[in-house]
Amino acid sequence: EGGGNMAASGESDPEGLCGPERAGAGGLALLGLAPSAPSCPHGPALLFVKTSQGREEGRRFYACSACRDRKDCNFFQWEDEKVSETRLAAREEYNRNHRPSFTHRQNVERYKNFVLLPLSKRRFCQECQQLLLPAEWEKHSNHQFLCDISTVQLKSPSQLLYPLENKKTNAQYLFAGRSCRFLLDLIIDLGFRRVLSVGTPRLHEMIQSKASQEEDFKVRSLLLDIDFRYSQFYTEDEFCHYNMFNHYFFGGKAARETCRKFLYQDNGERVIMVTDPPFGGLVEALASSFKKLMAMWKETEKEGQDNQEMPMFWIFPYFFESRILEFFPSFTMMDYQVDYDNHALYKHGKTGRRQSPVRIFTNLTPSMIVLPVEEGYRFCTICQRYVSSGNQHCEICNSCTSKDGRQWKHCVLCNKCVKPSWFHCNNCNCCTLSNHTCEKTDAGCFVCGKAGHKRSTCPSLSCT
């Protein structure tokens, strides 16, 4: 939801999305955030290197953390490049010119003035995505704008603002009401009273709305999001401009301190982090940022909880399970299908391969996550977790093995359950689609380059 960062939609080639950051697969390897990294308008750049068959090839370089498409941010610099003073000054000027036209504090003041206006004078420019004060009407006279902006609309900015849907840069898909209500009810039932909403503006919005309408509603939320447009609607204690790919707070120390204070569990108010990053985002970069947020939470914790992790819901497609578990071994993937208002494919209730692939990954005990029985979920007493109706327990695997909502079948030769549309191929020695092209093992392994085996069975992997 919301994230607004580097993304691709992922529905056409799900497993393919995992490739670019893996050195072994060939392509680009992410080396991380260097201490002296140069910056673009999206904060410190990330360090990458081109790879081939598991080896670094060529020079290392810095690129924008938030945009894969060079059209959206063309920042590029070789790691060992000597940048001239003139170019550094030009870069500073460029970064300055790409800052928002108003600061967060100015936007808060503007909002205060906006709500004092009579309904007939409340306008919102659709082209500039900006609340307009009467003195600014003339400047926007050639633009399309909405009139008579009500208080209800101001409390629901995710519906007032255009979703940023450029798949390579933003992929701002917003939770459907069903998923948003389920998440909030679950959070309340689990006893959490503070929600760190990282790239989940609609969940934050629902919490803020309930808090303003219901006196006994005690849940609070802090939204961290790269979409600065939300600063028009929320105070500095409710929203921080944040890039989840490089753990960058655009508001500097003050914003970081706002987040740290929010994570401090005063009076036993338990905190949970809920995040819904763009699905094409590099998992390694996201995991690095999330670990830093967890570390920030741990700093505020009292002694005697050294082994605890900040409770977390990471909402992401099921085909990233192995990547997420690589960085967070304590996580479990739940069967609940998360759906979105403005995505044609990510809808709950469809059948077969048309079901939403988006799931909740969490470090909470799976049996605590109660899924709605009225939507077909049931509790598996052996696995001690709720599963979808099509996810049948396999006695051989001793697990409910389905990942995509369909009933999977056990392959004796592979010694695991596989998708119902897959068949065992003796040439490839694994289950795959019937119309696949057999792998040529003599072409050499992608990891070590030697012939006679595939990447998945490479002896080098067991040595690392």
Summarize pLDDT for 195-229 with one digit per residue, the tens: 999 999 999 999 999 998 888 899 999 999 999 99
pLDDT at 255: 97
- β-strand 270-275 against 399-400: which pairing, if any? unpaired
pLDDT at 302: 60
pLDDT at 54: 67
pLDDT (average), residues 434-453: 61
pTM: 0.85
* Higher local confidence (pLDDT), 34 or 234: 234
pLDDT (average), residues 89-102: 94
Q: Inform me whether the pLDDT recorded for 300 exceeds 90.
A: no
pLDDT at 288: 95
pLDDT (average), residues 407-431: 91
Q: Inform me whether the pLDDT recorded for 450 exceeds 70.
A: no
Look at 8-17, 33-42, 114-123 and tell me which has the smallest mean pLDDT. 8-17
Residue pair 408/416 in contact by the 8 Å Cβ criterion: no
Q: Inform me whether the pLDDT recorded for 6 exceeds 70.
A: no
pLDDT (average), residues 72-93: 93
* Mean pLDDT of the residues in the chain: 84
Q: Inform me whether the pLDDT recorded for 144 exceeds 50.
A: yes
Q: Inform me whether the pLDDT recorded for 168 exceeds 70.
A: no
pLDDT at 279: 84
Q: Inform me whether the pLDDT recorded for 167 exceeds 50.
A: no
